[in-house]
């Protein structure tokens, strides 16, 4: 039997193996498979389905542990997270170029810090759809492209004026020399996938930084990686679900795609996936509409998404008295204008769970003149009416191609979520 890896090594491996949402759900499924969960297809009958199972669709995954004999109206304990991160995605006709350079036509996905994508060695990942209708994961883990920054000799005031990037003009990566040729990238990805060029009909492809995840700091107390927001939360949710032993509720991890662009898709938190799974599990226990509404009324969701750590170079951007630090435990996120779904009741319940697990916790609120972002929390609360708390690990460089958080916080979050699932 293989020796289990330390939790942080397992997280580093998950981050490295998940350059796209499709890889993130595939890697989560592998973790669940190894723990004895069973995969159920959405278009199959779930009669007689096992108590520990999951269903996967594209960049979304819902997994659950529903104890045998649980009443149909029993509540759900849901941890929600998202698999997508801001990045550079290829346009349908990606072959472009100018002035003797071959380039890739890209579209900026989400609220990316676009300057962080300059001068990085970039690989390519995502999924391909073949002529027979099947989808295949693609991951090119070698330097393929680069977005070169303009030399300071040609922009001598850049350090004083600040870098200004036109997303259409300045972010097209170079990946070769010569005139652009239609189909050049299609030939490359087909070869990487081991199929004939004409077999690739379509694809959802994106660039990723090739620098591997790493421990950072004097004592290795920090973690630097791409896609920390929000794969850290995805990993913690899956680890907690595997470790949990629920008794009176269904423990559930829901990983959604498209949070960074508003969640409004079939695989996003605003879509029907989570509600459909809940309905089917209640029906499997011979419950109807009444039992489903009772189950939802007694349920709770922990929306797990990364939080802002206080930045030592920009302390004035943070609310005094609410300045989270790395390695000080999960952050409860509060916003009076409902950008987060936390209220006093759900915050108190999450803090009790942290206390039960001997996990420290913090609280975050934005300055009045620095509006915060949002999460799947308000979306889930609005769609299903489930009491929700927004939490996350503190980090710097949010939405950068490479982010930074505390190395102790992901295991602490997983411990708190395990207590949430179990109690």
State the DSSP code for 366: -
Give the 3-state secondary structure of 158-171.
Answer: HHHHCCCCCCCCCC
136-143: Cβ within 8 A, 24+ apart: 136/193, 136/195, 137/20, 137/22, 137/23, 137/26, 138/189, 138/192, 138/193, 138/203, 138/205, 139/19, 139/20, 139/23, 140/189, 140/192, 141/210, 142/210, 143/210
**30-41 pLDDT, tens digit each:** 999 999 999 999
Mean pLDDT over residues 78-91, rounded? 98
Residue 3, pLDDT > 70, answer no
- Contact in structure between 8 and 411 (CB atoms under 8 Å): yes
Mean pLDDT over residues 330-353, rounded? 97
Of 48-52, 133-137, 154-158, least confident by mean pLDDT is 48-52
Structure tokens, 132: 């027979």
Task: Report the chain's mean pLDDT, rounded to a whole number.
Answer: 96
Residue 2, pLDDT > 60, answer no
- As a whole number of angstroms, the distance between CA 353 and CA 347 comes to 10
The CB density around residue 347, as the number of other CB atoms within 10 Å, is: 18
- As a whole number of angstroms, the distance between CA 327 and CA 394 comes to 8
CB neighbour class for 116 (10 Å; exposed up to 12, middle 13-18, buried from 19): middle
What pLDDT does 338 receive?
A: 96
- As a whole number of angstroms, the distance between CA 301 and CA 420 comes to 10
* Beta strands 52-57 and 38-39, pairing class: parallel
Mean pLDDT over residues 133-160, rounded? 97
- As a whole number of angstroms, the distance between CA 328 and CA 309 comes to 10
- As a whole number of angstroms, the distance between CA 168 and CA 107 comes to 8
CB neighbour class for 178 (10 Å; exposed up to 12, middle 13-18, buried from 19): exposed
Residue 5, pLDDT > 70, answer no
- As a whole number of angstroms, the distance between CA 357 and CA 353 comes to 6
Structure tokens, 189: 């990805």
- Contact in structure between 323 and 363 (CB atoms under 8 Å): no
Residue 367, pLDDT > 70, answer yes
Structure tokens, 143: 């330097």
Mean pLDDT over residues 137-148, rounded? 98
Residue 178, pLDDT > 90, answer yes
**235-260 pLDDT, tens digit each:** 999 999 999 999 999 999 999 999 99
- Contact in structure between 286 and 72 (CB atoms under 8 Å): yes
The residue to which tokens 């609120």 are assigned: 365
- As a whole number of angstroms, the distance between CA 180 and CA 106 comes to 15
- pTM, full prediction: 0.96
* Beta strands 300-304 and 76-82, pairing class: parallel
- As a whole number of angstroms, the distance between CA 261 and CA 129 comes to 23
Residue 6, pLDDT > 70, answer no
- Contact in structure between 139 and 169 (CB atoms under 8 Å): no
Residue 11, pLDDT > 80, answer yes
- As a whole number of angstroms, the distance between CA 31 and CA 231 comes to 14
Helix (H) or strand (E) holding 378: helix 376-384
What pLDDT does 1 receive?
A: 39
CA 378 to chain CA centroid, nearest Å: 17
Provide the residue count of the chain: 423
Mean pLDDT over residues 44-51, rounded? 88
Mean pLDDT over residues 155-181, rounded? 96
- Contact in structure between 109 and 265 (CB atoms under 8 Å): no
């Amino acid at each position: 039997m293989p020796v289990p890896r330390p939790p942080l090594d397992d997280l580093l491996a998950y981050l490295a193996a998940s350059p796209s949402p499709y890889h993130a759900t595939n890697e989560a499924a592998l973790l669940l498979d190894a723990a004895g969960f069973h995969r159920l297809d959405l278009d199959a009958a779930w009669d007689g389905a096992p108590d520990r199972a999951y269903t996967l669709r594209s960049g979304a995954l819902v997994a659950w542990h529903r104890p045998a004999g649980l009443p149909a109206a029993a509540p759900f304990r849901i941890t929600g997270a998202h698999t997508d991160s801001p990045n550079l995605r290829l346009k349908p006709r990606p072959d472009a170029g100018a002035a003797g350079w071959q380039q890739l036509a890209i579209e900026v996905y989400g609220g990316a810090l676009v300057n962080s994508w300059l001068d990085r060695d970039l690989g390519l990942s995502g999924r391909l759809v073949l002529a027979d209708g099947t989808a295949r994961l693609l991951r090119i883990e070698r330097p393929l492209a680069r977005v070169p920054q303009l030399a300071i000799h040609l922009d001598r005031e850049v350090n004083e004026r600040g870098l200004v990037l036109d997303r259409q003009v300045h972010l097209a990566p170079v990946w070769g020399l010569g005139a652009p040729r239609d189909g050049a990238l299609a030939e490359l990805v087909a070869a990487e996938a081991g199929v004939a060029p004409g077999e690739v009909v379509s694809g959802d492809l994106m660039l990723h930084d090739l620098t591997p995840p790493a421990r950072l700091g004097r004592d290795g107390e920090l973690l630097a990686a791409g896609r920390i927001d929000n794969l850290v939360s995805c990993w913690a949710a899956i680890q907690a679900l595997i470790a949990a032993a629920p008794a009176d509720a269904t423990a559930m991890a829901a990983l959604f795609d498209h949070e960074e662009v508003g969640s409004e898709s079939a695989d996003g938190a605003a879509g029907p996936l989570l509600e459909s799974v809940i309905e089917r599990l209640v029906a499997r226990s011979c419950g109807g509409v009444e039992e489903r509404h009772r189950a939802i009324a007694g349920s709770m969701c922990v929306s797990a998404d990364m939080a802002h750590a206080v930045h030592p170079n920009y302390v004035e951007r943070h609310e005094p008295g609410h300045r989270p630090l790395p390695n000080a435990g999960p952050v409860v996120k509060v916003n009076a204008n409902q950008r987060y779904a936390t209220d006093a009741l759900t915050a108190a319940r999450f803090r009790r769970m942290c206390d039960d697990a001997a996990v420290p916790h913090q609280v975050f609120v934005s300055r009045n003149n620095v509006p915060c972002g949002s999460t799947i929390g308000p979306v889930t609360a609005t769609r299903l009416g489930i009491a929700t708390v927004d939490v996350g690990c503190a980090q710097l460089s949010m939405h950068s191609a490479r982010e930074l958080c505390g190395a102790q916080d992901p295991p602490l979050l997983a411990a708190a979520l395990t207590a949430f699932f179990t109690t």
